[in-house]
Structure 1
């Protein structure tokens, strides 16, 4: 019998590589009359869960009469990892009715499950129960709470949990720093890092990751350089996650020279790092390099995921060069990705923006499943090509299928109305958006409505709409009306709008040029001279260029 115990101990220390091996190990436990021992039952449950068989893990749980907190935790974690959150919460509630009290790991698991299930109400409830259980100040539970609250953007709650822990460990510090990064609060993230250093905590790779999340745009590039230097100083430049985020950070900051240098220093960059570099080139408008690195990625035998393919297609759409787009479409079909909604929607958008609406429509029609993103892509494409009534038909079809429109849907529809000059339809869409679908109008919606009304000569109605908006009114909305005043030659209203724009942005000479053109069309040459004399910049109109398959023609 002792040999059985020795064998069990050695086997339980290894990771089971297959479900068959787990079952053999389970059979050995039963044969050794240890199946009711909570220790061995816990280990077997963990191995079944690791191999994706949660149902059999629950069967083992049911067959174990004596249930320790570790046994409960193992099955709750198994359900949470399998994203069967309802079962995890139900099991947790059953645990509360027994004599076994949840520990800090139980609450940490439930908190993470709430986070992954986007259940903020459940998170607050779990937090309350943890406090009642006396575990609200526990570092393990606290770290999970800080991370979860941060994921929901509730950084004040995350900070409150952190401040309630007397001696936070490095994991907890890292969680708060990352939380501020996810919420775009760079100043607080850096302040927390400095406080961590003053507390005598030495940063690790996860600290660097959290700090890099705080660098959101090029205005924070200097801080990004400092974090890069810190990672080099502490030897974290070999950490794959850190290096990947460095590439991502430099790409977000549009500093592609540094991004490529970091990328080139990696012996075998993973797909995430490749994606960060390619997305960076797309963001900076260097579509040639984005496509070049995508081709190199394929030549190295790496298979691009759907997110990367969608990013590359977005680059091609901006370049309006359909050749590489067809190449990517072929890659999608060869690799069986044509049924992916994200990829197909990006193809629809690419073809439409490259001028091949028929191809985009064909991709849309062949999609096995369509969601709001794909509907928005085809509606936008139809609107850009002046096919407003076809866009309305697709919109009605979408509603009949039970797909709920979002703000992007109405933005595309209003844009279609602008291209087709459908004033009454635009008014009705704007009304339905607010009162039927309860969607709050954003700046782009107001811009389209103002353009639509102004282009139709309804300048007074457009101005009254602007007057109804809370101050300060966005420049884009006022600029749209000023542009309409130009086409309608209404210098009086143009003066009123232009002066409001000058107050909000005195250095923008574009609006002065627009106003001077309006004065000129009205024959008010003295006013033209006054406006032109106030232009501070050296505005210069560039000659137009046409681009066909990479060749420029004047």
Structure 2
């Protein structure tokens, strides 16, 4: 009878075990008085855990007097699998108190629980237990340690464990490559990828997943294509996860042609892949196609999340046509996501940039909860519409709430509002308190707004002195802001100095050449005009501006 039950349970453990079959087996074992045997209890607990019936699993564990290490591991794993980490850790403590010595599987389970819970201090404690138990070189424990440290960081801890392994297996190599991938350190990930092959380890799909995750900017496109070619060579391109990440990689690198081709080859793209395509098209400037993809995704019943809806609203804001934004707003309401902070903030931005500031204000007032991003969005859009005083009032509201801390974007929005309305004194005040009271160092955009604000008010020398106070290289956008103010006010002397700074820093003359040429002409410096125009033969003229704001009535 014992042999028959063992054989039956072993076969069932290899197949899809349903909850009804599990309960039937449990009943049979109870009837035959085998439920107190740790072997059968262990198997039934595992089946309950697979079917997410943690209550029945715990009841059987409590009713089993003889508790082997395998039984303890099964119940700890069951709680960890259900993300009930406090129960898993308590059972681990109870096991130690009972005198049962943990094995490599016990530690691996607890290490995985620490990783899933993002409990770094707990991870360090369990790591100490692994070392004390003499299991630091065990392949199962070391693999889980590398994986956990790679996920939680700092990565140096994972490297220490990895370097102590004489012959790392594929899982350990993959964990290290993925760890560097999550940090965006493509160079070290690539060196590990090369090293593992030199040591005779053959990459699998998870290896390529970790490698692709590192490649996140257009400058890495060539490397991304080489990785893609390896995926094709070894047949991993048909793997759904690899295909999804390749779409994301090409989207991040703004190579949307390749992203579309891979996307079209996928049988059932998941939400992450759809999102990568929509965001990639939006960031590449193909807004209409991004919106078409979003509609197609909805027609096919794809699931969405608030972040994707916020991305679509951001795309609609770039297009400055209100109708797609209104449609997306309605979709968000039907999904119940319209009150999410990320979606509401994107709605404020979309309506304001499409010319419907009042609708943006209505969304802001209706938000049940706000964060600094939503406040920044409101301040920025009020300022862009010339309502600086209202923007300042929103800022005062932020200061009244102790749990909101102004950030760089907050002061950028405030200085933009001052710049649009010519409020020099307010601009000086906000620029000063940004550093003095909030410890925020000015960035390029802050200097651009201040230089424009001072320059347009005729305070050109003060603007020039502000630029000279900047530590380190000065961004050409800051010099360009002062140059345009010099041109407007006819200050050709200072304009010439600024032009020299720009051209000495090897800025393309075509970027500011026309403005400088006009200034030279206004100052009667015709030889300079002639020389500059010779250098600007490639300039064909400027495209006329036009508004894309829709005139739809609300």
Under TM normalisation by the shorter chain, which class is it?
0.7 to 0.9
Q: Which moved more, 1:242-251 or 1:334-343?
A: 334-343
Partner of 2:517: 516
Is the Cα–Cα contact under 8 Å of residues 282 and 290 in structure 2 kept in the other structure?
A: yes
1:446 counterpart = 2:447:
yes
1:261 counterpart = 2:261:
yes
Map 1:543-554 → 2, pairs under 5 A: 543-547=544-548, 549=550
Distance 1:406 1:145, change over 3 A: farther
Partner SS state of residue 187, structure 1: helix
Partner of 1:528: 529
CA apart distance, 1:91: 6.0
Map 1:50-199 → 2, pairs under 5 A: 69-70=69-70, 73=73, 77=77, 99-118=99-118, 120=120, 123-124=123-124, 126-127=126-127, 130-151=130-151, 154-199=154-199
> Larger C-alpha radius of gyration, 1 or 2?
2
Q: Which moved more, 1:30-39 or 1:194-203?
A: 30-39
Q: Which moved more, 1:429-438 or 1:169-178?
A: 429-438
TM-score, normalised via structure 1 length: 0.85
CA apart distance, 1:181: 2.5
Partner of 1:393: 393
Distance 1:117 1:428, change over 3 A: farther
Q: Which moved more, 1:84-93 or 1:497-506?
A: 84-93
1:273 counterpart = 2:273:
yes
User: Distance between the aligned counterparts of 1:92 and 1:492, measured in 2?
Assistant: 77
User: Distance between the aligned counterparts of 2:63 and 2:469, measured in 1?
Assistant: 68
CA apart distance, 1:311: 1.8
Tell me how many residue pairs correspond in the alignment: 550
Map 1:29-48 → 2, pairs under 5 A: none
Partner SS state of residue 547, structure 1: coil
Partner of 1:406: 407
Distance 1:126 1:388, change over 3 A: farther
Q: Deviations over 1:464-486 (max 9, x none)?
A: 44333331233333333333333
TM-score, normalised via structure 2 length: 0.85
Is the Cα–Cα contact under 8 Å of residues 415 and 450 in structure 2 kept in the other structure?
A: yes
Is the Cα–Cα contact under 8 Å of residues 510 and 539 in structure 2 kept in the other structure?
A: no
Distance 1:164 1:336, change over 3 A: same
RMSD after superposition? 3.6
Partner of 1:362: 362
1:291 counterpart = 2:291:
yes
Q: Which moved more, 1:291-300 or 1:106-115?
A: 106-115
Is the Cα–Cα contact under 8 Å of residues 313 and 350 in structure 1 kept in the other structure?
A: yes
Is the Cα–Cα contact under 8 Å of residues 415 and 448 in structure 1 kept in the other structure?
A: yes
User: Distance between the aligned counterparts of 2:120 and 2:462, measured in 1?
Assistant: 43
Is the Cα–Cα contact under 8 Å of residues 153 and 182 in structure 1 kept in the other structure?
A: no
Is the Cα–Cα contact under 8 Å of residues 353 and 381 in structure 2 kept in the other structure?
A: yes
Q: Deviations over 1:260-286 (max 9, x none)?
A: 221222223222222222222112111
CA apart distance, 1:157: 4.3
Partner of 1:458: 459
Q: Deviations over 1:188-211 (max 9, x none)?
A: 222221212111122211112122
Distance 1:66 1:397, change over 3 A: farther
CA apart distance, 1:175: 1.9
User: Distance between the aligned counterparts of 1:77 and 1:465, measured in 2?
Assistant: 62
User: Distance between the aligned counterparts of 1:362 and 1:492, measured in 2?
Assistant: 49
1:241 counterpart = 2:241:
yes
Is the Cα–Cα contact under 8 Å of residues 150 and 176 in structure 1 kept in the other structure?
A: yes
CA apart distance, 1:239: 1.0
Give structure 2 stretches of 5+ with no counterpart.
none
Partner of 1:231: 231
Partner of 1:324: 324
Partner of 2:334: 334
Distance 1:341 1:75, change over 3 A: farther
Which structure ranks higher in relative contact order (CA pairs < 8 Å, sequence separation ≥ 6)? 2
CA apart distance, 1:322: 0.9
Is the Cα–Cα contact under 8 Å of residues 476 and 507 in structure 2 kept in the other structure?
A: no
CA apart distance, 1:389: 2.0
Distance 1:538 1:76, change over 3 A: farther
Q: Which moved more, 1:182-191 or 1:58-67?
A: 58-67
User: Distance between the aligned counterparts of 1:352 and 1:442, measured in 2?
Assistant: 25
1:382 counterpart = 2:382:
yes
Q: Which moved more, 1:532-541 or 1:209-218?
A: 532-541
Q: Deviations over 1:205-224 (max 9, x none)?
A: 11121222232223322222
CA apart distance, 1:359: 1.5
Q: Deviations over 1:422-461 (max 9, x none)?
A: 3333333334433433334333233323333333333444
Q: Deviations over 1:120-148 (max 9, x none)?
A: 55555555554454444444444444444
Q: Deviations over 1:73-107 (max 9, x none)?
A: 55555555555656666666676666445544455
Is the Cα–Cα contact under 8 Å of residues 146 and 161 in structure 2 kept in the other structure?
A: yes
User: Distance between the aligned counterparts of 2:329 and 2:429, measured in 1?
Assistant: 37
Distance 1:124 1:276, change over 3 A: same
Is the Cα–Cα contact under 8 Å of residues 271 and 304 in structure 1 kept in the other structure?
A: yes
CA apart distance, 1:12: 6.1
Partner of 1:423: 424
Q: Which moved more, 1:153-162 or 1:344-353?
A: 153-162
Is the Cα–Cα contact under 8 Å of residues 509 and 535 in structure 2 kept in the other structure?
A: no
User: Distance between the aligned counterparts of 1:395 and 1:293, measured in 2?
Assistant: 37
User: Distance between the aligned counterparts of 1:184 and 1:17, measured in 2?
Assistant: 41
Distance 1:350 1:7, change over 3 A: same
Partner of 1:310: 310
Distance 1:354 1:43, change over 3 A: farther
Distance 1:89 1:375, change over 3 A: farther
Is the Cα–Cα contact under 8 Å of residues 450 and 462 in structure 1 kept in the other structure?
A: yes
Is the Cα–Cα contact under 8 Å of residues 391 and 413 in structure 1 kept in the other structure?
A: yes
